[in-house]
Every structure is written in C-alpha cells, then in structure tokens.
Amino acid sequence: MDWYETIFELIDMRSFSNLWFWIALAVLWSSTSHWVLGVPWDMIIRARKKSADAQSVVDLHDLVRINVNRILYIIHESGLLIAGFVCFALTVLGLTGFVYGKEISQALFLLGFPMSLVGVFSVLTARKIRHSGLENAALYKQLYRHRLITQVIGMLSIFVTAMWGMLQNMNVGVLGG
C-alpha cells in the first residue's frame, strides 16, 4: 500500500461516515455558542451576577465595545466583498453538493450555511448594541438573546446535518452493498 492510499484511507472523502467531520461539527457549534460576539460566555455570566466586582463589569463592557466596533468596521470596509464571496462559496458548495452529488460539498455547505446565518445575526446584534448604547442589564439580555438564537440555529443545523448524513450513509450502504 503506498502513502497516497494510506492518506486517503485516513481522510475519508465521504464526510458523513467520517468521525472527524462529526468532531469538527461539535467543536464548531460548541465554540460558536461559547463566544458571543467574541466575548466568552463565562465572562458574561461573571459580570451579570449581583455579586460581580466592578472590574469584571468594566472588562465585559470594554470587550463588547471592542468587538462590536471591530465587527462593524469590518462590515463597513469590506462587507459587500465578504457577502459576495460567502454567497459565491455557498452557491458553489450547494450546486456541487446537492445537484452533482459531491458529499464533501454537502458537508461543507451544511457547516457553512448556518454559520453564515450566525454571522449575519452577529452583525445585526452589534448594530443594535451600538445604536441603542446598551449597557448593564440591557446588554446582558441582548447577549443572552444572541447566544440563545445561536444555539437554536446550532441545534437545527446539527439535526438537519445528522438526518442528511444518515440518509447519505444509508443510501451508500444500500447502493454499495
């Protein structure tokens, strides 16, 4: 057996039967849920407590301000270019995956499309925080709402991906065996 076969045995291009794909899916949504607009969730919880020290509240507000400004700056400077590239990439993945039947494209689309929704929602949340000047309880409530919606998108994404992956694996099992 040559090295080329060994590598492609290790990196199975049939994504839905590959353990690495499912690990990547879990890590993706776990990380996305933990980092709310670039702020770790434990930091939000610590600042939200009644017994929180003043420094943790100041740190949270500073980090939210920095990340909101960063997100809105990126969108202002290159938002149209990013949107065009993401739409192009998702269209290519969708067509090659679901029209031409390439499983790796299906898997990448099922990872990328929900993340693009989270990205759009992050921009909307950042705009709301800046426009409304949210602070303290209102800010915590908005960050909690953002995390909750991100988790709902993640749960739906995992469910749809798991159902599609099982369907693909059953089809391969029926057709291949």
Give the pTM.
0.86
Q: Would you say residue 15 lies in a domain?
A: no
Nearest alpha carbon to residue 139 among 53, 68, 35, 51: 68
Q: Would you say residue 68 lies in a domain?
A: yes
- The single residue listed with the structure tokens 């700056």 is 73
User: Consecutive 10-residue runs of the chain (177 residues): their mean pLDDT?
Assistant: 66 74 94 95 89 86 96 96 98 96 94 98 96 91 96 97 90 63
What pLDDT sits at residue 83? Answer: 97
What pLDDT sits at residue 175? Answer: 62
Q: Would you say residue 35 lies in a domain?
A: no
As a whole number of angstroms, the distance between CA 108 and CA 126 comes to 27
Q: Would you say residue 17 lies in a domain?
A: no
What pLDDT sits at residue 169? Answer: 83
Query: What's the domain count of the chain?
Result: 1
What pLDDT sits at residue 76? Answer: 96
- Secondary structure (DSSP) of 52-91: --HHHHHHHHHHHHHHHHHHHHHHHHHHHHHHHHHHHHHH
- The single residue listed with the structure tokens 């017994």 is 51
Q: Would you say residue 118 lies in a domain?
A: yes
Q: Would you say residue 133 lies in a domain?
A: yes
Q: Would you say residue 156 lies in a domain?
A: yes
